[in-house]
């Protein structure tokens, strides 16, 4: 049986740090930015970590 392929979109969106946590960028910063406050947009620039509930699924997608 052939090897399982890892999900290409997940590989681009998530990074696994050495400590094991998965890093991701925040959503809602592509368009319709005029109604969002500057402080909100500034906060959306920063990366954050994936929640524990989603971590297992994302790990499976990345590692195939």
Q: For residue 18, what are its two tokens? A: 């050495």
DSSP 35: T
Residue extents of the structural domains in the chain:
8-63
Q: How far is CA 59 from CA 3, 13, 19, 28, in A?
A: 16, 12, 14, 23
pLDDT tens sequence across 14-57: 999 999 999 999 999 999 999 999 999 999 999 999 999 999 99
Q: Which CATH class is domain 8-63?
A: few secondary structures
Q: What confidence score (pLDDT) does residue 6 get?
A: 95
Q: Could you tell me if 17 and 59 are in contact, meaning their C-beta atoms sit under 8 angstroms apart?
A: no
Pairing of strands 48-49, 22-24: antiparallel
Please give the model's pTM, rounded to 2 decimal places. Answer: 0.84
């Amino acid at each position: 049986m052939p090897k399982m392929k890892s999900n290409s979109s997940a590989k681009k969106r998530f990074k696994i740090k050495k400590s094991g946590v998965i890093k991701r960028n925040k959503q809602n910063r592509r368009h319709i930015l005029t109604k969002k406050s500057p402080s909100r947009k500034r906060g959306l620039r920063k990366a954050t970590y994936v929640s524990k509930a989603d971590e297992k699924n994302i790990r499976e997608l990345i590692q195939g």
